[in-house]
Amino acid sequence: MEEININKFLELEYLKKLFHQKIKRSKSKGIDKVSVEKFDVDLDNHLNLIIDKFKSGSYNFSPYLELLKLKGRNKVPRVISIPTIRDKLVLLVLKEILHEAFDSSVNRKLPNNYIKEIKHFLKKDKSEKFFLKLDLEKFYDTLNHDIIISKLTGQNLPENVVLLIKRAITNITVPQNSHVSQYANYEANVGVPQGLSISNILAQIYLLDFDKVISKRKYFYQRYVDDILLINSSEISQFRIKNFIKELESLSLAVNSSKTEQNSLNVTAFNFLSYSISDDKISVAQKNIELFLRRIAAKITWFKSCIKVKEKRPEHLKENPERLKEVFINELNDMITGLIANNKSYGWLFYFSEINDLDLLFKIDKIISSFFLNIDAFNNNAPQELKRLVRTYYAINSKKLNYISNYDKLDTVIKKREFLVYRGQISSTQNYSNEDIERHFIRYQNKQIRRNEQGLGYTYIT
């Protein structure tokens, strides 16, 4: 097998493009506390250093910075590893190289496509179906380094690429304000750090052989990271389940027995990728319905507080309650419909666009409208400008997206300035440079994106 030529991934212009497309809008800082802005000032020197050290095999990663992500009450927080800007760029290069090396084996499907395939399978044959759901316990934390390297070795990857990947996954993650003298207390003997751009593709590669074995059998089979789903026309025997578990154990993986589910779809629905799936209905998992409504309710509470107390309003809307009302409805509509930015779609219903449970959308629309019954500023009625999930659903599925906010249409500095003034993000009387306008716009746009993505609870395999 001919070795991959990695030179195209290490050209200065390619790295610049990768930096501007994937990293420049990032706000996170690694252990060196270097911001994107500071890194950008001396970009060429940083990139040339990466190229030289990457090619020579002498590149070493700085310790990752620990970020604890809460998973819910009484649950252990998830440890996210934050690389430095320079390391982040190297990891992106490694990810692109891995995608080329495993192009025919590793998919980049979005969660919706998994659900679409399940829908198609269930629609094709209306006979009774039985499902089995398995969850891998502490999946990323238990991936075996030797197994990962063995699956990379013997492929068409250069030796220095495999070496760098090994360094990336064995690199330590340390808490904020750790001193160098304490680094020896932290180990990374097993597992793949979560938060790295290579984490998901390495996890896929790790289970490629398992996927191939199961896919050869008669079952309908889906796996998304650590969630495994099988659907069959008859109940899957305990003997078969034990074999699945044995194969996973050979990879140093354990099944979380408390999350194993098995039943007939005629009897009960199951949740997969935050969808609720039964024999005839594709809906949204109850937890995700509640999360969405809580976010909407929080936005309503924010507005009611701002209307009552002027000091709580955004700086440039303090003296303009009528504009505050308009901005509130616009931002609420962005939460309801989602939005388009950077040629991508973001939002709750974009994620759940494969549902066929329209009754749920009518019900949520009604609940959102009811939130206005005790808002005097809107005469205790939902305003006509308030958008609806039902109409959004039809817009998304018909691909007629004019109903949905498209930030990409704000493609000039003048349009961005007018938009930011209207939304109360900048002063209407102050002079701003083009760079200032761009910076304010990106910051606000990213805030709206984060608000739309919050609580969906999935990881894209990219």
Q: What percent of the chain has pLDDT over 70?
A: 96
Q: Is the pLDDT of residue 454 over 80?
A: no
- Helix, strand, or coil (residue 267): coil
Helix/strand number for the chain, H first, E second: 18, 13
Among 86, 82, 83, which residue's Cα sits nearest to residue 39?
A: 86
Per-chain mean pLDDT for the chain: 91
Mean pLDDT confidence for 309-324: 93
Q: Which amino acid is at 124?
A: K
pLDDT at 462: 33
Q: Is the pLDDT of residue 234 over 80?
A: yes
pLDDT at 461: 35
- Helix, strand, or coil (residue 272): strand
First and final C-alpha spacing in the chain: 25
pTM of the model: 0.87
**Which residue is listed with tokens 């809906």?**
283
pLDDT, tens only, 235-285: 989 998 999 999 999 999 999 989 899 999 999 999 999 999 998 899 999
pLDDT, tens only, 19-46: 998 898 788 899 999 999 999 999 999 9
Render 200-225 in DSSP notation, one character per residue: HHHHHHHTHHHHHHHHTSSSEEEEET
Mean pLDDT confidence for 291-304: 95
Q: Give buried/exposed letters for 105-139 (b at 16+ CB in 10 A, else e).
A: ebeeebbeebbeebbeebeeeeeebbbbbbebbeb
Q: 243 Cβ partners below 8 Å, 6+ apart?
A: none
What does the block give as tokens for 358? 């329209």
Among 404, 403, 427, 421, which residue's Cα sits nearest to residue 327?
A: 421
pLDDT, tens only, 104-139: 667 667 888 999 999 999 988 888 999 999 999 999
pLDDT at 218: 84
- Tell me whether strands 275-277 and 282-284 are parallel, antiparallel or unpaired: antiparallel
Cα(310)–Cα(306) distance, integer angstroms: 6
- Tell me whether strands 339-341 and 405-406 are parallel, antiparallel or unpaired: parallel
Q: Is the pLDDT of residue 74 over 80?
A: no
Mean pLDDT confidence for 157-161: 92
Q: Is the pLDDT of residue 191 over 50?
A: yes
Cα(460)–Cα(241) distance, integer angstroms: 28
Q: What percent of the chain has pLDDT over 90?
A: 76
